Amino acid sequence: MDQARAARRGRLNGRETAPSRFTAAEIAEIRSEFPALAELTYLSTNGLGLLPRRSAQAVATRLDRLTNGGIAVAFADDEELAEETRRRVAHLLSCHADEIAFTRNTSEGILWVAESLPLASGDEILVAQGEFPSSVLPWLGRAQRGVVTRFLAQAQRRITPAMVAAAWTPRTRLLAISFVQYNSGFRADLAALASVAHRHGGLLLVDAIQGLGALRLDAAATQVDFLTAGTQKWLLGLQGLGIFFCRRERLAQLEAMHVGPGSLPQDTDPEDPLAPYDCNFVAAARRFEEGSRNYLGLAALSESLRFIDEIGPARIEARIRELTDYAVAAAERRGCRVESPRGAGEWSGILLFTPPGGRPAKEPDDMRRLMEAMRQRQIAINGREGCLHMGIHFYNTTEEIDRLMQAVDAVGG
Ligand SMILES: Cc1ncc(COP(=O)(O)O)c(C=O)c1O
């Protein structure tokens, strides 16, 4: 491999800022996949990612074939599409295809674990204060059966392995945590957290929706037990489809609660009147796919994963680091305070920062004025906690960040 190609492949050499710059032609080619970028300064991938043209085309092609062929098309394509997409997800996560199942969304994956994990009255689940409700509500729902949800306070918007170790008790069974916190963008050290959980005989469940597709995540190396992510944000898929990872050796620890005909082996004899009821479920994460799947979502995801793989996850991550560093410097030059942790291993594509003056907007009117200024300039960005809250993906540019900062300047502190 020549040197230029090696650099483009994003060899990080242990450093977090890779030298893997994209050429102007590459950026133009990438951006041509996202028509919305011609109209909008799109800084909202943390809310909803953009669907690439090629993925939209794959959905349109499938719809066309279904419209014209009905069941003949479904029979011919469904299984192959699901298995091909499963292999692509496994490739992204460096795990086995039989460790992957498809969900409707992030929340469903957490519910699968919450309903299938054998828990006794008095058992505890550890969650961080401020987590997205998907990681919390399924456990509160088990309170009627005596399961205790314990909240761990964040320290300077961080949840560290030492904090988790200190909070773990003999009754703690599982830590449920986001890979990337949706509000601050803090990225958890999954390998170290898995090690804390396992040292105590417990488990780690990860909500990966705010990181997967932007930041590399090796499920085998980190030793996470369960992981779930909707595909509609950084993975550039459609709403209504998510992925679920269950480590091979953990499947047997989950009760077969969430089952249906889709949980049976593919070669179950449809003519045998008893076989469908004999509870001979597949020994794979696919067991959770109880019935028909979201094939249009799978068509989109398969193409989007192919696109992400073509560009290269390491290069995507390096570009997000460069762009977010650029945004942090531009914000700080204006006297904005960046709330998002930015240290090695804890940064992400999400940035939360105050208006100039270094304090969150106190008055709802101030925030409304700021958001209105963004809308008028066609800048898609969110507000949260009196701050600007944005998600930067590889398809963004420094020019877009400049446009955002001009709007911040125009409104003032
Ligand atoms: C951390 C986190 N989890 C879950 C979700 C949404 O999950 P679902 O895919 O179930 O809609 C979001 C959406 O913003 C999120 O930020």
How close is the Cα of 135 to the center of ligand 1, in Å? 9
Is 319 among the domain residues? yes
For CA atoms 39, 41, 47, 52, the dihedral sign is positive
CATH number of the CATH domain containing 343? 3.90.1150.10
Q: Are residues 316 and 303 in the same domain?
A: no
Number of domains in the chain: 2
DSSP category for residue 278: S
- If asked whether residues 110 and 253 sit together in one domain, one would say yes
Claim to verify: residue 252 and residue 399 sit in the same structural domain:
no
State the distance from the centre of ligand 1 to the C-alpha of 184, rounded, in angstroms.
14
Positions in the chain short of pLDDT 70: 1-20, 413
Q: Residue 181: CB within 6 Å of ligand 1?
A: no
- Rounded Cα distance between 252 and 19, Å, is 44
Longest dimension (CA), the chain: 73
347 in the same domain as 319: yes
The answer on 184 and 325 residing in a single domain is no
Predicted structure pTM score = 0.94
Write down the pLDDT at residue 364. 87
Question: 106 CB less than 6 Å from ligand 1?
Answer: yes
| Residue 52 within a domain | no
What's the pLDDT score for residue 1?
34
Q: At 121, list the tokens.
A: 């009255």
pLDDT at 20: 62
Hey, which of 132, 181, 234, 390 would you mutate to test ligand 1's pocket, going by the most ligand atoms within 8 Å of its Cβ?
132
pLDDT digits (tens, 9 = 90+) for 42-80: 999 999 999 999 999 999 999 999 999 999 888 888 999
Minimal-distance CA residue to ligand 1 atom 7: 106
CA distance 381 to 390: 6
Residue where a domain terminates, one of 289, 308, 327 = 308
**Is any ligand 1 atom within 6 A of the Cβ of residue 237?**
no
pLDDT at 276 (0 to 100): 79
Confirm whether 37 is domain-assigned: no
Q: Which residue's C-alpha comes closest to atom 2 of ligand 1? A: 132
- Identify the domain containing residue 324 by its residue range: 3-32+312-411
Considering the domain boundaries, does residue 41 fall inside one? no
Residue 11 has a pLDDT of: 36
Same domain, 270 and 396: no
103 in contact with ligand 1, CB cutoff 6 A: no
Each residue's pLDDT tens digit, 301-315: 999 999 999 999 999
- CA 99 to ligand 1 center in whole angstroms: 21
Last residue of a domain, one of 278, 308, 338: 308
The domain that holds 223 is classified in CATH as 3.40.640.10
| Residue 70 and residue 197 in one domain | yes
Domain boundary among 258, 273, 308: 308
Asked if the structure places residue 236 within a domain, the reply is yes
Whether residues 200 and 236 share a domain: the answer is yes
Cβ contact 299:81 at 8 Å: yes
DSSP per residue, 212-263:
BTTB---HHHHT-SEEEEESSSTT---TT-EEEEE-GGGGGGS-S-S--GGG
Do 239 and 190 lie in one domain? The reply is yes
